[in-house]
Amino acid sequence: MNLEPGTTEVRQSQSGSAPPAADLGLYAAHVQELVLYLRDEGHVLSSMDQHILEGWWRAGYPLEVVLHTVRERGLRLKARKKPPRGLPLRSLSRYVEKAGQAAILKCVGGHSSDSGGGVASESDRQERLAVMLSGLEADLCDAIALRGEGAPSHVLLTEFLGELEEIPSRGHGEAALFSTLLAMGRRYYDEVWRGTSDPMRRELRADVLASLGESAVNMSADALEETVVELCRRALRRRDPLLDPDRYWRGL
């Protein structure tokens, strides 16, 4: 399975008849977006990660349950002084399998993104998400007005407003919505990067490489570049937190 961030293309399994690739692709894209958020490097899914993820999908673990468990357990591992390098999915697999099997027993539904993961009622959850989305829409409107039509990000922010209006009709669960907004944020900070001056880019890259230290030596050229790009996105996000998930997702 070869999935790039933000895409939904995956190869089918070589053994047996594979399920519809588009469904697996969407499932994988959501998980990958969350993993990229949790990891402190740009290289996202290893071949082992891909195998594990496909196994979760084939087992029928609901997307929302998988995302909720990966996010909750991943944040706990990151809080430790020495979390597993790259946060491999195998370190989370037993938690996902336990939650996924429990969800199936409760008849949550094969590959549905509907599942709880929380104790709040559906109406309470929808109300909280609606408030969060409304606040995010207001922030985007303010940014568009303040930056004006000549700003490089103006067109993209306007597109985001349209996408936010469509989100309620997609029926996303909370965790799937989170990964959807993560992808939106990555697109935004890529656009900000393209609009950054060459001297500032060089400065950001130099700072990131210095922060990686000796660990950079052990990375392949591709993995190092992906990591540098991701950490540069995060540096830009700290300077411009418009789509920082730690800001708009606080309290949810």
Least confident span in 31-45, 115-129, 195-209, 234-248: 115-129
Residue type, 91: S
Q: What string of DSSP letters covers 207-247?
A: HHHHHHGGGGGGS-HHHHHHHHHHHHHHHHHHH-GGG-HHH
Q: Residue with structure tokens 């409760």?
A: 106
Give the tens place of pLDDT for each residue, 24-63: 888 998 998 898 888 877 766 788 889 999 999 999 898 9
Spatial distance between the Cα atoms of 214 and 209, rounded to a whole number of angstroms: 9
Percent of the chain with pLDDT over 90: 36
Give the tens place of pLDDT for each residue, 14-23: 333 333 334 8
Give the burial class of 162: count Cβ atoms within 10 A of its Cβ; 0-12 exposed, 13-18 middle, 19 or more buried: exposed
Of 101, 103, 127, 123, nearest to 113 by C-alpha is 103
Domain residue extents for the chain: 21-105, 122-248
Q: Rg of the Cα trace of the chain?
A: 19
Give the tens place of pLDDT for each residue, 182-225: 999 999 999 999 989 999 999 999 999 998 888 888 888 888 88
